Structure 1
């Protein structure tokens, strides 16, 4: 049975395995990896995990973000991020971002995690969320719709057109 947990520096090896499966780059949606993050070294990984924890209650005026990892039997299967604010980044990328490693896809994990992060959003008092996905990502569109997302339309974005959904909590 999977669990949705806070990022944990003790899972460095498991993260490296998942990261290698995605391939090089910073493309794991829901993990909050920035170009300056060193996720390969134990020290850099611990610093990155600490930064993710600080983002839940930032003191620098930026929007807050809650990160969770989807873990099962010590293996990281994916990640999901809940962005609490309404800044330019959220208006482009949405309040929720998630990614499932390739070998764990088609098991319903994204829908499962999205429903749980929506429960966290309710607890935080959020009432309406924007969730987006690439126009060609049919699996993600179905995930959002299964979690109650209502299609608003398509908007051009810097990396291509995005399907926009609203979830009312």
Structure 2
């Protein structure tokens, strides 16, 4: 049964296979501003080695700490991986507060991504459900979750988790979800 866990070096091979799927799916270009896209560009050349992957995992785990240096506009974020044993299925980020300005309004508190070969199996819905009590434990009674207006699968995952649509801003639909 899949679960959300802190990033771990134990799934190195599966993680690399998932990243190859993302690349084959067209992710990682300079127009891909997602976490996956940013990570492919920033770390893709180094995470093939065990030491490079360990540094990447340490970087992700450190993002939850307030004192971790980060670019302006970025906030502490708990990064979790959706794993089924040794199989990497996806990633979920819980931002501890909304980023300042338009970034927070567009990205919300929770973002998630399911690897291409694991899609259409309910993983996004299950990941989001598993994240709700974790967000509550971070002091977030409700979370903003967004998706592209044409991402039907993500919209359904949000709505299945009680998401109430707030509005649409540009290409993003914005939903509020109670965490408890």
What range describes the TM-score normalised by the shorter chain of this pair?
A: 0.7 to 0.9
Q: CA deviation at 1:21?
A: 1.1
Give aligned pairs, total.
Answer: 165
Q: Tell me the TM-score normalised to structure 2 length.
A: 0.83
Classify the secondary structure of the residue corresponding to 2:42: coil
SS in 2 for 1:7: coil
Tell me, in whole angstroms, the C-alpha distance in 2 between the residues paired with 1:81 and 1:42.
23
TM normalised by structure 1 equals 0.88
Q: Which runs of 4+ in 1 moved over 6 A?
A: none
Query: 37-46 or 20-29, which moves further after superposition?
Result: 20-29
Higher helix content, 1 or 2: 2
Distance 1:28 1:18, change over 3 A: farther
Query: For residue 19 of structure 1, what is the aligned residue in structure 2?
Result: 19
- Contact kept, 8 Å, 1:148 with 1:167, in 2: the verdict is yes
Q: Give the structure 1 partner of residue 131 of structure 2.
A: 117
Q: Residue 84 of structure 1 contacts residue 95 of structure 1 at CA under 8 Å; is this kept in 2?
A: yes
| Root mean square deviation, CA, Å | 2.1
5+ residue gaps, structure 2 = none
The Cα shift of 1:33 comes to 2.1
User: Is residue 2:96 matched to residue 1:96?
Assistant: no
Q: CA deviation at 1:15?
A: 0.4
